[in-house]
Amino acid sequence: MPAPNQSERDFWNAAPGRLWADRQALLDRLQSNVLARLMDAARPAPGEAVLDIGCGAGATTLAAARAVGPRGRVLGLDISEPLAARARETLAGTPNAGIALLDIQSERPEAPPFDLCLSRFGVMFFDDPVTAFANIRAALRPGGRLACATWAEAARNPWFALPRAAATDRLGTPPQGDPDAPGPLAFRDPARVRRILGAAGWTGVSVTPEDTTLPLADLDEAIALAAGIGPIPGMMRAMDGTDTDRAAILDTLRAALGPYAGPDGLRIPATINIVTATA
């Protein structure tokens, strides 16, 4: 029987994980407004102990470390060695923050109880989300807080919908998978999120869709990201796409994203879910 989250471990420790680490600067820019909104919802206070789930390359961990100050501490967790290595580089010179290669679904961090758990797009990849969120709750003190940002449905997120449409136009419709399987859109449905957190023992669960934007400098940055991250590479693998297909898909995507470009750069509309709860 495969280990918990084995497919996600394999994925994030292979080429995709390395690509995300290499694209850290662009991804941090793309998700900067989401991070700001997450921090508003999480409210990390000076002196608090914070757990960052799916910390990636470390932007959320660093933001939390700055918020809690020298009397606080932050531990970022990820299952991807390439991303954890990049996060350690991000946090160099930040003595109140650390990174652990750990899957909260099957392991628990060796630390005193945390006051707060936060996550920017890091909690949608568990194959047993109830167990994972029960373990997160167990790592917090009674009354500890949870604050997460997850993606809403693709129809409200051109960053997902437009690349998928461009790839479908070229390659055809891909095989239908389980829409609730681990993946970036697995927590798109607020009702499902509330059921999972309730089953894991959380109280006061709130899931609030919020509109924001994903900022990039220009269309070139968007195409550079979309070529290796998101629906296009997945569909290219599933449908045996060629380099010629990829070029055509990216040309179509460039045209589709064009209306979001302006004098201040590219601003792609997005909708996220802000999830909060109490342990």
CA 271 to chain centre: 14
Query: Is the Cα torsion angle 61, 63, 64, 69 positive or negative in sign?
Result: positive
Residue 239 has a pLDDT of: 92
Residue 55 has a pLDDT of: 97
Give me 268's structure tokens.
Answer: 């792609």
Q: What is the largest CA-CA distance in the chain?
A: 56
* Cβ-Cβ contacts under 8 Å for 109 (sequence gap 6 or more): 51, 75, 77, 100, 102, 139
- The arithmetic mean of pLDDT across residues 245-267, rounded, is 97
Residue 171 has a pLDDT of: 96
Residue 1: pLDDT above 70? Answer: no
Residue 206 has a pLDDT of: 98
Q: ∠ CA 86-92-95 to the nearest 5 degrees?
A: 130
Cα of first residue to Cα of last residue in the chain, in angstroms, is 32
Give me 50's structure tokens.
Answer: 């914070």
Residue 174 has a pLDDT of: 87
Residue 189 has a pLDDT of: 98
Q: What is the pLDDT of residues 92-137, one digit of tens each?
A: 999 999 999 999 999 888 877 999 999 999 999 999 999 999 999 9
Q: How confident is the model at residue 20 (pLDDT cuts 50, 70, 90)?
A: very high
Q: What is the pLDDT of residues 26-84, one digit of tens each?
A: 999 999 999 999 999 999 999 999 999 999 999 999 999 999 999 999 999 999 999 99
Give me 47's structure tokens.
Answer: 């002196």
Compute the distance between CA of residue 264 and CA of residue 215 in angstroms, rounded to an integer.
9
Residue 227: pLDDT above 80? Answer: yes
Beta-strand pair 73-78/49-53: parallel
Q: What is the pLDDT of residues 237-254, one digit of tens each?
A: 999 999 999 999 999 999
> If we measure between CA atoms, which residue out of 10, 94, 19 comes closest to residue 52?
94
277 forms bridges with which residues in the sheet? Answer: 146
